[in-house]
């Protein structure tokens, strides 16, 4: 029963992420909805706990990748694309250092 609850939570999380990532893109929203539903339907009868755990790991990875790696783009001209970044994609810019600073012991 516990795994069923976790699967349902993952299903809902994927759909929430889909709605955020593909906001205002009807075609992408529908394609993602169909794919999520298809994958869950195809594995609905799975009884092996190892296989369920493996599928759950894949689903969680997909959710993270969608949330942190997918950027929406809108064509604004023949050679122009406007990228729409979400807060999940914006990371603090940390400057690169060739040699790390060493802390001296007092």
Report if residue 94 sits inside a domain.
no
Report if residue 41 sits inside a domain.
yes
Tell me which DSSP letter residue 89 carries. Answer: G
Q: What pLDDT score was predicted for residue 83?
A: 84
What gap in Å lies between CA 28 and CA 32, rounded to an integer? 6
Report if residue 58 sits inside a domain.
yes
Report if residue 44 sits inside a domain.
yes
Report if residue 46 sits inside a domain.
yes
Q: Which domain range does residue 9 map to?
A: 1-88
Mean pLDDT of the chain: 86
59-82 per-position pLDDT tens digit: 999 998 888 888 888 888 999 988
């Amino acid at each position: 029963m516990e795994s069923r609850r976790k699967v349902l939570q993952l299903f809902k999380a994927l759909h929430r992420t889909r709605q955020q990532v593909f906001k205002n893109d009807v075609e992408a929203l529908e394609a993602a909805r169909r794919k999520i539903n298809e994958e869950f339907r195809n594995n609905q009868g799975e009884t092996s706990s190892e296989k369920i755990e493996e599928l759950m790991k894949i689903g969680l990875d997909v959710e993270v990748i969608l949330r942190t790696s997918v950027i929406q783009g809108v064509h604004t001209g023949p050679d122009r694309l406007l990228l729409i970044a979400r807060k999940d994609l914006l990371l603090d810019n940390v400057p690169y250092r060739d040699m790390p600073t060493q802390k001296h012991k007092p």
